[in-house]
Amino acid sequence: MPKLSMKQRYSVLTRDLDWEPSYVDEEELFPHATFEGIKIHDWSKWEDPFRLTVDSYYKYQAEKDRRLYAVLDSFAQSQGHLSLSDASYLNAMKLFLQGVTPLEYQAHRHFAYLGRHLKGGGPRFAAICQSIDELRHAQTEIHTLSGYNKHYSGFHGFSRMHDRVWYLSVPKSFFDDAVSAGPFEFLTAISFSFEYLLTNLLFVPFMSGASFNGDLPTMTFGFSAQSDESRHMTLGLESIKFMLEQDEGNVPIVQDWIDKWFWRSYRVTALVASMMDYQLPRRVMSWKEAFELYFEQQMLEGLFPDLSYYGINPPRHVQQAVDEKDLLSHQVYWTLFSFGFAAGFTTSIPHDDHLEWLSANYPDTFDNLYRPQWEKARRIREGGGRFFFQGLPQLCQTCQIPMIFTEPGSPTVIAQRWSEHRGEKFNFCSDGCKWIFDREPEKYVQAWMPVHQIYQGNCGGPTVPEVLAWYGLEEGDGGEYEGSVDQRNWQHWHEAQLSEVASR
């Protein structure tokens, strides 16, 4: 048999396996394909540049897993956790496991749904591959980080925490919003806005950070997952172009979704900003630098001029994201520090060299706006205390982040926006979040707002210890890093190592 070209193989192994329904009509077979208003005239025009076929998919995925498991074994066998930059580095991984890994599982489920409900054979196959990828990501992330659970706090019970803990309602509700949309909006939300526009901001600094802080297993699973991510980004871009090319009437719908989902996704990445600038003992690049490179340069200067051909504009409210790049990580980490008593990771005042790094990377904002907070927190600590926000925060009804963001141009004035719906007041952190609510108030009035739920008595009881018990948090999971269980163990292990060396 002559060898088929890649194009032929792709055609035979994906498109040719599709069929025309005979005993049910198309509307009955694909009941979710039209209600969003997207018009598709010819599904065969869908492009899959990867030309991935099922045999090569399995071949390469198996190889990726083999490489990862070899690394996990050797790291565990060599007590690799002791060569991390510092135990506090793992706070970033705890946040990742609690906040992001469950989203991979959600994505797995929902791409399986797309694999059922998209009408074309090409996109259905791409969605099935991605569904399997996302399951692999969830499993390998859990498996990789479980190695640390033996030695460090905060890694247990991540799944329960994801469903219950206040700051994790931010990523959880983001994904709930996406999976409760139709198939085309989901593609625009997750494949395009989250994965194409912003995934680099999430994963690339994260993996580079793992590499730089001695976390070989995380770096390896990151690379392993990210190699799939390139395919996911492609699905995101192709799906947008496909919708735009199929019918001019799709353009305003897609634009509206890009406007919504850019802002939703951007708000979720706020947690990444604080991780990059504050949670890594050895820092690779600042949030600001990553934002300029991966978003402003690659997307605003590269992608959007390309999409303007179809009449697509840069996302509404994008300017505010650009304006916030000097503020975001500082505002978010201060919040995590302030509510550290209710978190599944520890926080602390940055050391002197870290403060200098922040000054150097944020010359326009750090010394005048944020350094004074840390200096005051330090004075409180010197007096034997620890600064905490002794109360519950006001939350944004859309993104569910505490309303910590400031007025454009006034970095000391907390922004307050609100709307009224059926006689009830709803509060928002920004014009972007208010705009999203106002488009679909029926959706967001249902939000499970952690603070409101605590006050309704739905979270274990009225006191902080009761709520923390309901969250599943244990001694050592949260609070201050200095003096924590993790820090004490870390010092003990390293002193033991040193004295062993000395005694030889």
Partner 1 sequence: MSVRAIAPYDFPSSSRQELYGDDQLVHVLWEGNMMFCSAATFRAPREMSWGDFKAQMVDPWAASDPDYDPRCPGGWRVDGVEVSPRPDQTLGGLGVGHKSLITFRI
Partner 2 sequence: MTAAADPVTQPPDNPSNNNVGVELQDSEESRKVIEAIVADNPAATLSHRPGLVRVSVPGRLVVRRETVEGLLGRPWETHEFQMCIVTYYGHIGEWDEDEIVIAWDHSS
Residue (292 or 466) nearer to partner 2, CB: 292
Q: Count the Cβ atoms, other than its own, within 10 Å of residue 252.
A: 12
β-partners of residue 347 are 480
Q: Count the Cβ atoms, other than its own, within 10 Å of residue 21.
A: 10
| CA–CA separation, 336 and 388 (whole Å) | 10
| 105-108: long-range pairs with CB below 8 Å, 24+ | 105/134, 105/135, 105/138, 106/175, 106/179, 107/131, 107/134, 107/175, 107/190, 108/132, 108/134, 108/135, 108/137, 108/138
**Sites for partner 1 among residues 135-174 (CB under 8 A):** none
Decide: is 44 part of the binding site for partner 1 (CB under 8 A): no
Q: Which of 39, 351, 379, 452 binds partner 2 (CB under 8 A)?
A: 351
| CA–CA separation, 127 and 113 (whole Å) | 8
| CA–CA separation, 447 and 67 (whole Å) | 41
Query: To 5 degrees, how large is the angle CA 84–CA 89–CA 95?
Result: 135
3-state secondary structure 328-363: HHHHHHHHHHHCHHHCCCCECCCCHHHHHHHHHHCC
Decide: is 357 part of the binding site for partner 1 (CB under 8 A): no
Contacting range for partner 1; rule: CB under 8 A; set: 65-73, 263-271, 301-309, 423-431: 423-431
**Cβ neighbours of residue 382 under 8 Å, at least 6 residues apart?**
none
Q: Which of 383, 385, 410, 405 is nearest to 393 (CA)?
A: 405
Q: Which of 451, 460, 466, 476 binds partner 1 (CB under 8 A)?
A: 451
219 binds, among partner 1, partner 2, none (CB under 5 to 8 A by kind): partner 2
Contacting range for partner 2; rule: CB under 8 A; set: 127-135, 259-267, 349-357, 400-408: 349-357
Contacting range for partner 2; rule: CB under 8 A; set: 44-52, 132-140, 328-336, 374-382: 44-52
What crossing angle do the helices spanning 121-149 and 216-246 adopt, rounded to 10°? 160
Decide: is 49 part of the binding site for partner 1 (CB under 8 A): no
Residue (283 or 386) nearer to partner 2, CB: 283
Decide: is 121 part of the binding site for partner 1 (CB under 8 A): no
Asked whether 67 and 224 are in contact (CB, 8 A), the reply is yes
Q: How far is the CB of 428 from partner 1 (least distance, A)?
A: 11
Per-residue binder mask for partner 2 (CB under 8 A), 213-232, x = binder: ------x---x--xx-xxx-
Decide: is 63 part of the binding site for partner 2 (CB under 8 A): yes
Q: Which of 455, 464, 494, 499 binds partner 1 (CB under 8 A)?
A: 455
Q: How far is the CB of 417 from partner 2 (least distance, A)?
A: 33
Burial of 368 (0-12, 13-18, 19+ CB in 10 A): exposed
351 binds, among partner 2, partner 1, none (CB under 5 to 8 A by kind): partner 2
433 binds, among partner 2, partner 1, none (CB under 5 to 8 A by kind): none
The pair of structure tokens assigned to 41 is: 């005239």
Size of the site for partner 2 (CB under 8 A): 54
Decide: is 385 part of the binding site for partner 1 (CB under 8 A): yes
Asked whether 76 and 220 are in contact (CB, 8 A), the reply is no
Interface with partner 2 (CB under 8 A): 5-7, 49-52, 56, 60, 63-64, 85-86, 88, 199-200, 203-204, 207-212, 219, 223, 226-227, 229-231, 233-234, 237, 241, 281-285, 297-299, 301-303, 305-309, 351, 353, 357
Which residues contact partner 1 (rule: CB under 8 A)?
Answer: 31-32, 35-37, 182, 331, 334-335, 338, 369-370, 372-373, 376, 380, 383, 385, 387-395, 402-404, 412-414, 416, 418, 421-422, 424-427, 439-443, 445-449, 451-453, 455-456
